[in-house]
């Protein structure tokens, strides 16, 4: 099936875009997490969302989930690792392959800079996607560097496939891994590679592995979409949330500061309306 609008990200920006697109009778593919956004879930108390004077981030996320359910907009749980402009449509690569006439990027901001060596070794012993690359490391030894509790599910999944796994949480607080996985609380400084394999370096000490999974909630935008114009970690957009690629829109944290729920939701609405206009133009 070729969708009218594919939305990558289930924070307030993506949810708002999905609601507006559905109200405008477009076929919508909303990609992200059934829990919506760990960033939302983590906020203790939100006091600047109009109409909801004091609400926890988790309750706000539940309210958005209920809104999606009421409108029968499903969340497809898949992590998109690449978006390709194919002319009159886009191909989105995740665990599955999707096609859409337009795309709204609402994937939030990347937590943390890439590690030295990470970009260079991507696809050569370093992976950003457990689901996509697990089979390459069947029976092998891997290190998983997880930037959010959401990545623990992927580490659990990987542990079913590989022979040995070390999980490095890049966040404070307890881990809730379901399987027996050794956890190392040390901040890696670099990833290196040589004939003997991959090495996660912590200064003097190294941890050796066949593969290193670096799992973040969001992938850097210009990595996700080849040819997309960015400015630092942000996608360049105009006031209508259009990017330099026709048919591709960006909204929320990924489109720039301030990082706020209501601004993200507002931009999601604009992006969806711009996508609707774009589709109408294409049909002329």
Ligand X SMILES: Cc1cc2nc3c(=O)[nH]c(=O)nc-3n(C[C@H](O)[C@H](O)[C@H](O)COP(=O)(O)OP(=O)(O)OC[C@H]3O[C@@H](n4cnc5c(N)ncnc54)[C@H](O)[C@@H]3O)c2cc1C
| Residues making contact with ligand X (CB under 6 A) | 8-14, 31-33, 37-40, 42-43, 46, 48, 79-80, 106-108, 217-219, 252-253, 259-262, 264
CB 242, min distance to ligand X, A: 17
Q: Which residue has the tokens 């400084």?
A: 189
Least distance (Å) between residue 259 CB and ligand X: 4
Which lies closer to ligand X via its Cβ, residue 45 or residue 196? Answer: 45
Q: CA-to-CA distance for 141 and 163, rounded, in angstroms?
A: 6
Alpha-carbon distance of 262 to 51, in angstroms, equals 11
- Residue 96: CB minimum distance to ligand X, A: 12
* Contact between residue 157 and residue 130 where contact means Cβ atoms under 8 Å apart: yes
Q: Which is nearer to ligand X, 261 or 278 (CB)?
A: 261
**Cα torsion 204, 210, 214, 215: sign:** negative
User: Nearest distance from residue 212's CB to ligand X, in Å?
Assistant: 19
Q: With respect to ligand X, which residue has the nearer C-beta, 111 or 206?
A: 111
The distance of closest approach from Cβ of residue 123 to ligand X in the complex, given in angstroms and rounded to an integer, is: 16
As measured in angstroms, the least distance from the Cβ of 142 to ligand X is: 21
Q: Which is nearer to ligand X, 44 or 284 (CB)?
A: 44
Strands 126-127 and 211-215: parallel
Separation in Å, CA 24 to CA 27, 73, 265, 274, 280: 9, 13, 17, 11, 12
Separation between Cα atoms, residue 76 and residue 202, nearest integer Å: 37
Residue 198 or 256: which CB sits closer to ligand X? Answer: 256
- Which of 32/188 has CB closer to ligand X? 32
Helix segments in the chain, DSSP class H:
12-23, 38-42, 57-70, 118-121, 130-133, 151-159, 221-224, 261-283
Nearest Cα to Cα of residue 106 among 276, 271, 250: 250
């Amino acid at each position: 099936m070729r969708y009218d609008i594919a939305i990558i990200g289930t924070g307030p920006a993506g949810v708002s875009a999905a609601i507006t697109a559905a109200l405008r009778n477009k076929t919508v593919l909303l990609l992200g997490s059934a829990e919506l956004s760990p960033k939302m879930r983590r906020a203790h108390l939100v006091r600047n969302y109009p109409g909801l004077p004091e609400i926890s981030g988790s309750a706000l996320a539940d309210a958005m989930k209920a809104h999606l359910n009421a409108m029968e907009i499903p969340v497809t749980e898949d992590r998109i690792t690449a978006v390709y402009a194919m002319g009159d449509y886009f191909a989105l690569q995740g665990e599955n392959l999707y096609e859409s006439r337009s795309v709204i990027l609402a994937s939030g901001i990347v937590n943390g800079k890439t590690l030295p060596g990470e970009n260079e070794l991507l696809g050569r012993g370093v992976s950003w996607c457990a689901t996509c690359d697990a089979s390459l490391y069947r029976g092998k030894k891997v290190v998983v560097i997880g930037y959010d509790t959401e990545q623990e599910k992927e580490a659990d999944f990987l542990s079913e496939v590989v022979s040995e796994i070390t999980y490095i949480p890049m966040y404070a607080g307890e881990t809730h891994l379901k399987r027996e996985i050794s956890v190392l609380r040390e901040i890696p400084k670099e990833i290196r590679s040589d004939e003997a394999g991959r090495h996660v370096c912590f200064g003097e000490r190294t941890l050796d592995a066949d593969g290193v999974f670096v799992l973040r909630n969001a992938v850097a935008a210009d990595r996700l979409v080849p040819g997309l114009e960015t400015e630092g970690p942000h996608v360049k957009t105009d006031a209508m949330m259009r990017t330099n690629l026709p048919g591709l829109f960006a909204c929320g944290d990924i489109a720039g500061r301030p990082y706020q729920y209501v601004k993200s939701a507002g931009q999601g609405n604009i992006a969806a309306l711009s996508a609707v206009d774009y589709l109408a133009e294409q049909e002329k």
